[in-house]
Amino acid sequence: AQKVTQAQTEISVVEKEDVTLDCVYETRDTTYYLFWYKQPPSGELVFLIRRNSFDEQNEISGRYSWNFQKSTSSFNFTITASQVVDSAVYFCALSEPSGYYKLSFGAGTTVTVRA
């Protein structure tokens, strides 16, 4: 069965601190996609990254970086030098076997960055 676990419910940091969000997934598929989305208080889902199961290269985009480790079924996300605007709920998601864009979402991690 598909399952995405985000063990951290809430994280609170002070501005400029780094914050790492954990994501562990379960799937029997050999080909799948992993996603991270940001949901600010306004509610819309902002796409951050998509990674396919064959690409284990780590990725950096500005202050964001992702560490994909297939051996541990983890796809962790780090925000470096956090800012108040980073305050949001962050979701990790996994594609369903029946369709790469039917997503199973983790429970989400609420990040609060204090000035």
- Binding site residues, other proteins, CB under 8 A: 35, 37, 42-45, 47, 49-50, 91, 96, 99, 101-108, 110
Nearer to other proteins, 17 or 39 (CB): 39
Positive/negative CA dihedral, 34, 38, 43, 47: negative
Three-class DSSP category at 80: coil
- How would you classify residue 64: left for phi > 0, otherwise alpha for psi between -120 and 50, otherwise beta? beta
Nearer to other proteins, 4 or 79 (CB): 4
| CA atoms of 17 and 99, how far apart (whole Å) | 37
Nearer to other proteins, 18 or 26 (CB): 26
Three-class DSSP category at 72: helix
Q: What does the block give as tokens for 12?
A: 């609170």
| Cα-Cα end-to-end distance for the chain | 41
Nearer to other proteins, 13 or 49 (CB): 49
As measured in angstroms, the least distance from the Cβ of 99 to other proteins is: 7
As measured in angstroms, the least distance from the Cβ of 16 to other proteins is: 27
As measured in angstroms, the least distance from the Cβ of 33 to other proteins is: 9
As measured in angstroms, the least distance from the Cβ of 65 to other proteins is: 16
